[in-house]
Amino acid sequence: MRNVFRLIRPSSLVILLIASMVSYYYLKSTGISDLTSMYQTIFGGKPLNGPLLKGLFVMMLSLLQYTLIDYIVYYIDGFEYLSIRYGNKNKWLKDLLKGVFIYTATFVILFYLFGLLFDFIYNNFMFVQTEIIILVGVVLRIFLFCIVIVLLQIFLLLMYTKTSVFIISGGISILLAMTSHYEGSVLYILPRSSSPLNLLFDVLKSIVLAIVLITLIQKK
Other CB atoms within a 10 A radius of the CB of residue 50 amount to: 9
pLDDT in tens, the chain (220 residues): 455 566 667 778 888 889 999 999 999 888 888 888 889 999 998 888 888 899 999 999 999 998 888 888 888 887 777 666 667 778 888 888 988 998 899 899 999 999 888 988 888 777 667 778 778 888 899 999 999 999 999 999 999 988 899 899 999 999 999 888 776 666 678 888 777 777 788 888 899 999 999 999 988 7
Q: Where are the alpha helices (DSSP H) in 87-131?
A: 89-122
First to last CA, the chain: 25
CA distance 159 to 17: 32
Closest to 159 measured CA to CA, from 51, 76, 100, 61: 76
Contacts 24+ apart (CB under 8 A), 53-60: 54/174, 54/177, 54/178, 54/180, 56/22, 56/23, 56/26, 57/173, 57/176, 57/177, 57/180, 58/170, 58/173, 58/174, 58/177, 59/19, 60/19, 60/23, 60/111
Q: What is the pTM of this model?
A: 0.89
39 touches 111 (CB < 8 A): yes
